[in-house]
Amino acid sequence: MQHLAALKDWFADCPGALVAFSGGVDSSLAAFLARRFLGQERCLAVTSASPALKLSDLEQARDFARANDIPLEVIITGELENPNYFNNPDNRCYFCKHTLYDELAGIQARHPNWWIINGANRDDAGDYRPGMKAAAEFAVRSPLLDCGLDKDAVRAVAAHFELSCWDKPASPCLASRVPYGERITFEKLRQIETAEAIVTELGFPINRVRHYGTKARIEAPNEQVAALERQATILSERFAAIGFSEMEIDAEGFVSGKLNRAIGQA
């Protein structure tokens, strides 16, 4: 299969891997490949049980590691204690990833010469990704990016290995639902998680709930917006119960990274 030879060669040079593992398809594939090519003794997946990670994603990450015999360490990172993070500037992701890689660097001290790797792919290089600056500062390596895999190729390789995550919808951190400049709090993150679970339960597994204080704005794929609007009454009732006095459905539909438009406008 395309890319497999390049990936095998990439890992042939790797003395050992500490994988920044969120449970998404990209980092899951990176962790799987590290386990496959390096063996259990020379790899460790590390997941941050951050408040910005959905609890369901944390459990799925645990399940994936268990199913694929990947050593896993779950850590607690303190980005919510950092005003550079919780004040939510447009480079918030930099401070989040800096905190994560700093923790990984500490773990790296127990595994001299091992590389810290992540699941960045070729498409990430063309997107707004402040976290990649933090990765560069900690000499984090990216096998998927280095071997030329884009998002579609990542899913194709994951499907080739019959990984359970191969078609998992993208699930960026919950903080990405809060407009830049609005403070990130634990309460907001849990509120968003609960709201998105409600939308999923109603039959819309790909969704985002953007947090505008007392108002929630729901995004679903464009072709599902009409169906979502038919659920408006029950959504309003259930969202009110978790603290949103207003609810609206985004007529444009789901657009990944929609809040980043504010950066360009600024």
Q: Which residues are known to be catalytic?
A: 173
Residues counted in the chain: 266
Please count the other Cβ atoms lying within 10 Å of the Cβ belonging to residue 85. 23
Which residue type does 161 have?
F
Q: Where are the alpha helices (DSSP H) in the chain?
A: 4-12, 25-38, 55-67, 83-86, 92-108, 131-137, 143-146, 151-160, 186-201, 225-229, 232-241, 261-265
Mutual orientation of helices 4-12 and 151-160 as an angle, nearest 10°?
Answer: 90
Q: What gap in Å lies between CA 177 and CA 118, rounded to an integer?
A: 23
DSSP 56-120: HHHHHHHHHHHHTT--EEEE---GGG-HHHHT--TTHHHHHHHHHHHHHHHHHTTSTTPEEE---
Please state whether beta strands 215-219 and 17-20 pair in parallel, antiparallel, or not at all (unpaired).
unpaired
Q: What gap in Å lies between CA 29 and CA 25, rounded to an integer?
A: 6
Phi, psi of 219 (to 5 degrees): -115, 135
Q: C-alpha angle 46/47/48, rounded to 5°?
A: 125
Please state whether beta strands 246-249 and 72-75 pair in parallel, antiparallel, or not at all (unpaired).
unpaired
Phi, psi of 222 (to 5 degrees): -50, -40
